[in-house]
Structures are given as C-alpha cells and as structure tokens.
Amino acid sequence: MNASLQRGLDAFRRCLDAPTASFFSSCVHCGLCAEACLFYTETGDPNYAPINRLAPLQRLWFQEYTLLGRFLSALGLTKPVTHDELAQWSPLVYDSCTLCGRCALVCPMGIDLVYMIRREREGLAVSGHAPAGLVGATTRNVNKGSAMGVTLDTLRAQIHHQEALTGIPVPMDVQDADYLVLLSSMEIVQFPEYIGALSKIFQRAKVKWTLSSQAFEATNSGIQIGIPDIARQIVMRTVTVAEKLGVKVVICPECGHGFRALRWEGEDLIGRRYGFRVQHILEVLDELHQEGRLPLRTQDQDARPLTYHDPCQIARRGGVVEQPRNLLRKISSDYREMAETGTMNWCCGGGGGVSALEQTVPLRRQVFRRKKAQIESLGVHTLVTACANCRMVMEEDLEVHGMDVEVIGLTEMVADHLEE
Ligand code: SF4
Ligand code: SF4
C-alpha cells in the first residue's frame, strides 16, 4: 500500500473516536441535513448531501469497527478505500463545504457533521489530498504568520495610510494594554479602513489597545485544512504574544474562522487555559456601547433600507447573534431582517477555506443564488456584515450577478456613527 495512503488511513482510524462511531451508528438517513446544505439545495446534486461527504470515513468504520463489516472484510466482500477514491472525494470535503454547521444544527440525531467533516479533512490532508490552494495558505500562515502572505511592512504601510486619514496614531506592541487586536489578511489588504475605524472607536471609548508586530493575524488555516497540530501552532503564536504583552482581552476581527479557532477551540488545542479573555470585535463594541462608553448618534440614523448577513462562524458557531442587531438598531432607522437568519442563516458560500480555492468559483456563483434571493426579497441595496471573507465573497458575487448592493463592515459603520 502506498505510504501516503497508509498515513491517511491511519489518520482516518485515529479520527474514528467514540463520537464519530456513535454518529455513524445513529444516522437514520432522513435527509434533513441535505435540505440544510447550500451546496445541495442550489445544485440538487445528491453528492453534496452532507452525510454523503463522509462515505470513505464511514466505510472504514464499517469495515474495521462493526461486526458485520469485519466479517464481510474477512471474506473479501468489501471494497477497501483507495488512493484514487480519496482523490475523488477531496472536492466534496474541501471545495464544497464551508464548515458552516447548518447541517449539524438540523440533524434530529444530533450528529455533528462539521466535526466529522473536519476529521475527514485531517485524513485527506495527511494522505496528500488537500487542495493546493489550502496547502499554500497553510504554509504561509505557519511560516509568515499570514494566510495571504501579508508582511509586517505591508501592514505598516496600511497603518500609515489610515493614520493620515484619521489623524489618530495606531499603537503597536504596547505593554499592558487592555486589548490586543488581531486582524485578518483581507482586512489588511482589501479593507484597511477597518483599522481606521478601530482607531476612532477606541479613542472615543478611551480604550488602551494595541496591535502586535509578532502576531497580527487571526486567520487559522490549520482549522480549514483540518490539521490540529498546525491549528495549535497558529493559536500558540497569539497566546505567546498576548501573555507576553500582558493584555486582558484578545479581540478577534471581522473574520469567522479566526474567532472560532481562538475563542472556542484554542484552549483545547493547547491543553491549558489562556491568561486572557477572547472576544469578537462585535461583542466588544456592543459591550462598550451598553456601558455607555461608546455613544452612537441616534438623532440622524442611517435611513437606507439595510440588512445583516450573519457570518456562520460568528453567529451559528460562535454565539454572536444579538450584538450586531443591538448596534444596527441604534444606527439604522430601516433595519430589515432576512427570513432565515441568526443561527439559521445561509452561508455566503466561501467560508471554510472554499474562497481560497480558485476551482470553486463556478460552484460559488451557483450557490450564491440563495443569498441573492434573500437580499432581493427585502428590497435593500445595503448589506452589512462582520467577516472580511464573507464581505469579499459577497462583493464579487453581487457584482457577477449584476446586483446593485453595497457591502459594509459593521465596525466601520459604528465608527461612522459615533457621537461627537
Ligand atoms: S440529518 Fe442526521 S440523521 Fe438525517 S441523514 Fe443527515 S446525518 Fe443522518
Ligand atoms: S457544514 Fe455547511 S456546507 Fe458543509 S455540509 Fe454542512 S451545511 Fe453543507
């Protein structure tokens, strides 16, 4: 047997833990997870049914961990998992799953399909079947501290632009600040106005904050590619810096997976508690506002009809649902809620590393039809969100679909509505 296949199958075997085995045993094949998955509903292709994506893992479980499977295998009546099969399966596990978690939420048997898909990604990555785009992003994330290869010089240049625009200095490597702020690659490169917005907000709230030259990005490609050791290494970089600087809180940016990795998985990954708290930027903004430290102008609210797109990892899988709405209802006089929203939102179609894969573009265009319909049904031309990846993906798709809709980051919107 080929050595990389052997490593991949061994990784699959390691993944076949108690939750995985009980999940496989309890699936009643009801199909509800398929109806919850964007890639199935928008294509009608049964290959995209979430439970179907687990077929190689499930077959290994059946053959090696069930009595019937072992018996049939001993008689040579089962088909072993092969290299070619893993290669064919890779697009179903990486290219067309955003790890959005909608399928897991609706499963009547409580099967955590995202957990299983991530375990399967681990096996595929170890056997050399992770897509090249994600391997590249992960390598840059580990070696350069940035999934997109953004350098400290690039960040400094963007900071200087923002300082010139706002007239407010951006702090770097400040010891004992209250908050250490992380950014996403896309914010630095495509939406640097996020940095200027933070400066205005924190100056208004009289908050002592800092960026770090050693750990400025939140992106965690280890989670996306499915390799826990890499995810741990990336988390540890932030932990080391935050604890050295002595900050009280690390703020995750408008980035889905970065928040998920650091807030909900990081302590398990590194095997100990952090010496600081982790909050999403929207939690911090809402908290500062509730405490009266961040007054917002309510006398001249934004009158444009607008709606909010919940990023999956922040809302459904992150628990930050009410905070953006608290802020938006203060800022906007015509805030409109999508029909399926909050924890039941529909994904933008580009999370989970999917947007890093060029080959996914046609499929992403196709599945964006769901978000398009949601936006059109509200008659809005302004879409607010809180994840730079969602923002970039939706901006592209709105353009391609010929829709006249502006996408805005909520943090920037808050900065534009600060009371003098
Ligand atoms: S919703 Fe749950 S029980 Fe139903 S097919 Fe999907 S995984 Fe199986
Ligand atoms: S996590 Fe989201 S994209 Fe992936 S299979 Fe489930 S519903 Fe589909």
Q: Which residues form the pocket of ligand 1, taking CB atoms under 6 Å from any ligand atom?
A: 27-33, 51, 107, 109, 111
| Of 126, 96, 155, 1, nearest in space to 360 by CA | 96
> What are the sequence ranges of the domains in the chain?
3-130, 135-290, 306-416
- Global pTM value: 0.93
Convert the pLDDT of each residue in 152-171 to its tens digit. 999 999 999 999 999 999 99
Q: What is the CATH number of domain 3-130?
A: 1.10.1060
Q: What's the CA-to-centroid distance between 103 and ligand 1, angstroms?
A: 8
Please check whether residue 355 is in contact with residue 344, taking contact to mean a CB–CB distance below 8 angstroms: no
Q: What's the CA-to-centroid distance between 298 and ligand 2, angstroms?
A: 39
Convert the pLDDT of each residue in 59-112 to its tens digit. 888 998 898 999 998 898 888 888 888 888 899 999 999 999 999 999 999 999
Whose atoms come closest to the Cα of 112: which ligand? Answer: 1
341 pLDDT more than 90: yes
Q: How far is CA 249 from CA 134, 210, 255, 274, in A?
A: 30, 11, 17, 10
Q: Please tell me the number of Cα atoms within 13 Å of 259 on its side-chain side.
A: 26
Task: Please report which confidence band the pLDDT of residue 9 belongs to, taking 50, 70 and 90 as the band edges.
Answer: confident
Q: Whose CA is nearest to atom 5 of ligand 1?
A: 29
21 pLDDT more than 90: no
Convert the pLDDT of each residue in 268-296 to its tens digit. 999 999 999 999 999 999 999 999 999 99
Average pLDDT, integer, range 368-386: 97
Please check whether residue 232 is in contact with residue 199, taking contact to mean a CB–CB distance below 8 angstroms: no
Task: Please report which confidence band the pLDDT of residue 420 belongs to, taking 50, 70 and 90 as the band edges.
Answer: confident
Average pLDDT, integer, range 3-19: 80
Partners of residue 382 on adjacent β-strands: 306, 406
Q: What's the CA-to-centroid distance between 33 and ligand 2, angstroms?
A: 8
3-130 against 306-416: fold identical: no
Please check whether residue 170 is in contact with residue 192, taking contact to mean a CB–CB distance below 8 angstroms: no
**Mean per-residue pLDDT over the chain, rounded:** 93
Q: Whose CA is nearest to atom 6 of ligand 2?
A: 103
Round to whole Å and give the CA distance between 124 and 131. 9
5 pLDDT more than 90: no
Q: Whose CA is nearest to atom 7 of ligand 2?
A: 37
Whose atoms come closest to the Cα of 367: which ligand? Answer: 2
Position 81 scores a pLDDT of 82
412 pLDDT more than 80: yes
Task: Please report which confidence band the pLDDT of residue 1 belongs to, taking 50, 70 and 90 as the band edges.
Answer: low
Q: What is the CATH number of domain 306-416?
A: 3.40.50
Round to whole Å and give the CA distance between 69 and 197. 58
Whose atoms come closest to the Cα of 102: which ligand? Answer: 2
- Here the tokens at position 283 are 């939690």
Q: How far is CA 215 from CA 143, 150, 185, 239, in A?
A: 12, 12, 12, 9
Q: What is the CATH number of domain 135-290?
A: 3.40.50
Position 89 scores a pLDDT of 87
Q: Whose CA is nearest to atom 6 of ligand 1?
A: 33
Q: Whose CA is nearest to atom 4 of ligand 2?
A: 97
